[in-house]
Structure 1
Amino acid sequence: MRHAPSRPSAALRTLVLTGTLALSLSACTGPSPTGPDASPTPRAASSATPEATATAAPAPDLVSRPLTVDCGDLIGADGLSSYYPSLALVPADDAAGDESRDGEALEIVAEADGTICTWQDADGATITVGVARFDGESLDELANELVATSNSVPTYGVEGYFDTPGGVGTAEAFSSPAFVVARSTTFLEPGDAEPVVSAVVNVLQTID
């Protein structure tokens, strides 16, 4: 007589199903990602806080006193005749368009209520001279600027500089308390301006 096979109990079936389900879930589910934390990490405050752009202290205003000199007395034309034949004073209105009367140095003279004069030689070349009077600190300010931007000239007898801004030879000299500017297209090198600068400096030394 054959016996029917015994069937597992309900409790055993439940245990098997639970174990199978657990294995299935563990096979389908991978380990948790270990990448960077998705939440943003606040940046540490930069220790090098940008500083405000340094601004150079403005240069002090130049301090001047009006300097009025008769153009006929400012330059000894007779003494320069060997360099510039028939040197003659040109009225300001007639010389207004001459390029020797332009330039930053002469603007400084004009703003200081100085004197600006132009002469013309027999060949038609013009020479413009400007003189202004400043206090010692202002003269130092002007000279320091030229140290960096122009060329020192030791032959003027005083502190002097020469350059050719705009293609026009320009000599600048300091005979305290005067600031002297001489400009001409005939000034191709420092020595060309030396007779004019020396003549003006000699005159200014007699003016208080």
Structure 2
Amino acid sequence: MTDTRVYPLSVRTATSSDGAATRRRAGLMLAGGALLALLLAGCSAADEPTPTQSAAATSGASADPTTRAEPSSSPTPTPEATGSPIAQICGDLLTLQDVYDFNPNYGTAPDYSPTADGLAETAATYNGLTCGWSNQTSGELIEVSVVAPNAVLMTTLKQQADADSQAVPTYGTPPTVDGFFTNSGGVGQAQVFTGTYWVTLSTPAFGEPGDAESLLSVILAHLG
């Protein structure tokens, strides 16, 4: 006769030791996951470098438009010392009558040329007018010159006259007219500066400043 009884399956009951092992495995898994997360976070931060201060400054500087240096201006050249051409002729400065009134022995000197190293020669280098009258008896010359200097030349000539000559206030009223006189090598030299002209007279006939006054006053009157 066949046995029809059903026998129960063998079921293993979990013990307390099994639960503790399970909890340990779960703890290890959580700890490993946290460590992995930290490692991944560290790698992510290292992959993105923080710009340094110098890099930021360079970036800011490159963003600004390039400033072009302005060219330096050239210095203004100093004006050249020169004189303007004189419109007058010798007869406008002193007429034959003016010369005769000074001394009847004086007249024109057709072959006149400025004496070397004299005031008239200096005047000729600055577009000046130079004239000569001769003593018909002795051949002694009276040299007259007129220059219309620019400001640079006027200043230079005045400084030279002041250094080499004595001031003569009777030739005119300063500063409208500045007069100077000197006697060099037996030749009297009179100079007058107006606002427009430099006038000179040179002759052995001038022994002192007063000898040139009458001719100077006539020349200045003609020049106006």
Distance 1:153 1:60, change over 3 A: farther
Decide which of 92, 95, 112 is 2:112's aligned counterpart.
95
Aligned to 2:46: none
Aligned to 2:200: 181
TM-fit CA distance, 1:90:
0.9
Distance 1:197 1:186, change over 3 A: same
CA deviation string 1:98-123 (max 9, x = no partner): xx734342232111111101012343
**2:176 is the alignment partner of 1:161:** no
- Please, which runs of 5 or more residues in structure 2 have no aligned partner? 1-77
TM-fit CA distance, 1:140:
2.3
Instruction: Return the index of the structure with the highest Cα Rg.
Output: 2
**2:155 is the alignment partner of 1:150:** no
Q: Structure 1 residue runs of 4+, over 4 Å off?
A: none
> 1:130 aligns to what SS in structure 2?
strand
Answer with 185-194 or 123-132: which moved more.
123-132
Task: Using structure 2 for the length normalisation, give the TM-score.
Answer: 0.57
- Please, which runs of 5 or more residues in structure 1 have no aligned partner? 1-58
Task: Using structure 1 for the length normalisation, give the TM-score.
Answer: 0.61
Aligned to 1:138: 153
TM-fit CA distance, 1:75:
0.9
Decide which of 134, 155, 161 is 1:120's aligned counterpart.
134
TM-fit CA distance, 1:87:
2.9
CA deviation string 1:2-56 (max 9, x = no partner): xxxxxxxxxxxxxxxxxxxxxxxxxxxxxxxxxxxxxxxxxxxxxxxxxxxxxxx
Distance 1:114 1:145, change over 3 A: same
> 1:73 aligns to what SS in structure 2?
helix
Partner Cα separation in structure 2 for residue 109 and residue 133 of structure 1: 9
Structure with higher RCO (Cα < 8 A, 6+ apart):
1
Distance 1:107 1:126, change over 3 A: closer
CA contact (8 A) 2:168 2:181 kept: yes
Percent sequence identity over aligned pairs: 31
Over the aligned positions, Cα root-mean-square deviation in angstroms equals: 2.2
Partner Cα separation in structure 1 for residue 169 and residue 128 of structure 2: 25
> 2:103 aligns to what SS in structure 1?
coil
CA contact (8 A) 1:68 1:114 kept: no
CA contact (8 A) 2:102 2:215 kept: no
